[in-house]
Amino acid sequence: MNLSGMEVEFQPLGKRETIPDGYSILDAARQSGIDLASACGGEGNCGQCRVILLSGKANAPDQDEVYYFTADQLRNGYRLACRAFPLENVKVQLPKGSLITGQRLQVESNLRSLPPDPRVQAYPVVLEPPSLEDPRSDLTRVLDELQERHGLNGMSAGLELIRTLSPSLRKADWKVSAFIREGEVISINALACRQVGLAVDLGTTKIAAMLVDLETGETLASAGVPNPQIAYGEDVISRLNYAYRHPDGSRFLAELVHQSVNDLLLDLVGQAGCQPGQVADACIVGNTAMIHLLLGLPTQQLATAPYVAAASQPIDLRPGEIGLGIAPGARVHIPPSIGGFVGADHVAMVLASDLDQASQVTLGLDIGTNTEISLRLPDQPYLTAISCASGPAFEGAHIQDGMRAASGAIEKANLNSAGWNWTTIDDEPPIGLCGSGILDVLAWLYRGGILTQNGRLQRDQPGVREGDHGFEFLLVPGRWSGSGRDIVITQHDVNEIQLAKGAIQAGINVLIESAGISPTLVQQVIVAGAFGSFLNIQNAVDIGLFPKLPNASFRQVGNASALGAKWILFSREARQRAVQIARNTRYLELTTYPKFNRRFAQAMLFPERPMD
């Protein structure tokens, strides 16, 4: 416990704020620059500043809160932030509606496009209604027409379609469009409506989704939300543990995500002006843990050594199994994974970046709490993949003034003769640093000699001062910040970044070494994902996160996993290629590599200074 006050942790932003005794959660939000809705200004009169108390104690709800919440909500920890005064360190969830500005979500990529080759086709079906003379079953009537008019023989239908068929035909007055996937009627829609698909990138932190026209490949709408499981564990291992240690924990976490994905679906079809029944195909990618939690698969064997997935094969599930209200006979495709820590999202990233077909020696990275890296050697049929436990520092977690990439986060920074420059997301006054900002600051601190090669803040350098927990560097004085408080980089922050970049650097080194090639032979580095897209390559090279290669060797490709999911959604050939990628990728377990720990320790140092 912090003796100087109580700490309030805001999820899903990952922002922490310390407040004195007697301050409300709304005070904490304001102090840290979080835009919590509050029309009445904190008088308990508007009911807008809703938060959910996840852990820690606060005062009992007062009469304003009893007015605004149901008994059920109160039992579940709902509070008005202006009426809730922490009595100890607390963790609160910010419901979507309470946040004025959200977290930055990236669903697009700058990679090549692919011609669509969808699994689902639409056929017009116009029928005579049944009579006593012609009492064929409704399905028979549809199948006979498909045969007679379109020459489609041997079509079938599953129970999900049959359950909705009779009212659908009658409501549409026997004039419909039948969607067919590989010999199966999967949906009955209004005549002449187009088939669309849903692609989802299910991240540990964020869920991004796109609605795609299956015939043109065009993205009709996209949207994203934070992963609501964050409140039950920031990293995958905590969440897996939660799932198997709590009664019904697995189902609970699964249903949280099901709800979010379904909400995204409804948002997207609303944006695009479609009916949910038109969504004829779906693809969800995610890391292996997220997919296990989505599907309610057993998690204990994945959370403990040797970290074994229940299955790494592609899975086609019925939408009802994840509560997804799309075409009744649609299937939700989960592409294959490579191992317990290299999931379908990495397969999708390899696919969309064409890493498996690269004609140069190429590294492909997706940086996150776990960083997956694959190495392609053009003369070998196999990719080799590793997973580095890089931790959440690059997502702003475990960093004093760190936060996720949301409004007010410093995302870029540099030091020149005039001092520090920074830019924030949405150009809001700075309230913290997201991953790319932290990286920039560290690189410039190192270049400026404020940090030593082994990562120590130099006490006698300008800006360095004694903080509550050792030395810290003052980046933004309180008078310029959105919270009125100083934004600093602590010695502990530097060490967290060293651990993260050391894990990735050591992983890359081992991956190259195990392939028996020299590091200088690497010709191309594909950097995917949100952090990877926004980071400054030169800075990443200079602190040793990336190997020392010309800037032109790096390709920052955006959310390649989401693009891969989209390809797998609308292209049968891409779906097949994903299976080949998973099959032809060898997983290398770093912890079994000789002397890995020593390599990791060495990689935590910063490289020789470029100017040295």
The binding site for a second copy (CB under 8 A) comprises 130-140, 143, 156-159, 162-167, 170, 295-298, 300-301, 305-313, 315, 317, 321, 337, 339-340, 587, 589, 591-592
Say which DSSP state 417 is in: T
Amino acid at position 567, single letter: W
Q: How far is the CB of 321 from a second copy (least distance, A)?
A: 7
Q: How far is the CB of 418 from a second copy (least distance, A)?
A: 52
Beta strands in 401-452 (DSSP E): 409-416, 419-424, 432-433
Q: How far is the CB of 150 from a second copy (least distance, A)?
A: 18
Q: How far is the CB of 329 from a second copy (least distance, A)?
A: 12
With contact defined as beta carbons under 8 Å apart, do 539 and 167 qualify?
Answer: no
Q: For residue 18, which phi and psi values (nearest 5 degrees)?
A: -105, 130
In the bound state with a second copy, the residue whose beta carbon lies nearer, of 31 and 299, is 299
Q: How far is the CB of 348 from a second copy (least distance, A)?
A: 18
Q: How far is the CB of 587 from a second copy (least distance, A)?
A: 7
With contact defined as beta carbons under 8 Å apart, do 328 and 161 qualify?
Answer: yes
DSSP 483-552: TSS-EEEEHHHHHHHHHHHHHHHHHHHHHHHHTT--GGG--EEEEESHHHHHS-HHHHHHTTSS-S--GG
In the bound state with a second copy, the residue whose beta carbon lies nearer, of 62 and 321, is 321
In the bound state with a second copy, the residue whose beta carbon lies nearer, of 337 and 436, is 337
Q: How far is the CB of 114 from a second copy (least distance, A)?
A: 26
Amino acid at position 420, single letter: W
Amino acid at position 161, single letter: L
Cβ burial, residue 260 (10 Å; 0-12/13-18/19+) = buried
In the bound state with a second copy, the residue whose beta carbon lies nearer, of 331 and 566, is 331
In the bound state with a second copy, the residue whose beta carbon lies nearer, of 18 and 164, is 164
Q: How far is the CB of 338 from a second copy (least distance, A)?
A: 10
In the bound state with a second copy, the residue whose beta carbon lies nearer, of 387 and 509, is 387
Identify the three-state secondary structure at position 451.
strand
Mention every residue, 6+ apart, whose C-beta is less than 8 A from residue 225: 96, 105, 206, 207, 260, 263, 264
Dist. CA 115–CA 104, nearest whole Å: 29
In the bound state with a second copy, the residue whose beta carbon lies nearer, of 157 and 535, is 157
In the bound state with a second copy, the residue whose beta carbon lies nearer, of 546 and 587, is 587
Mention every residue, 6+ apart, whose C-beta is less than 8 A from residue 405: 103, 104, 396, 411, 425, 434, 435, 436, 530, 531, 534
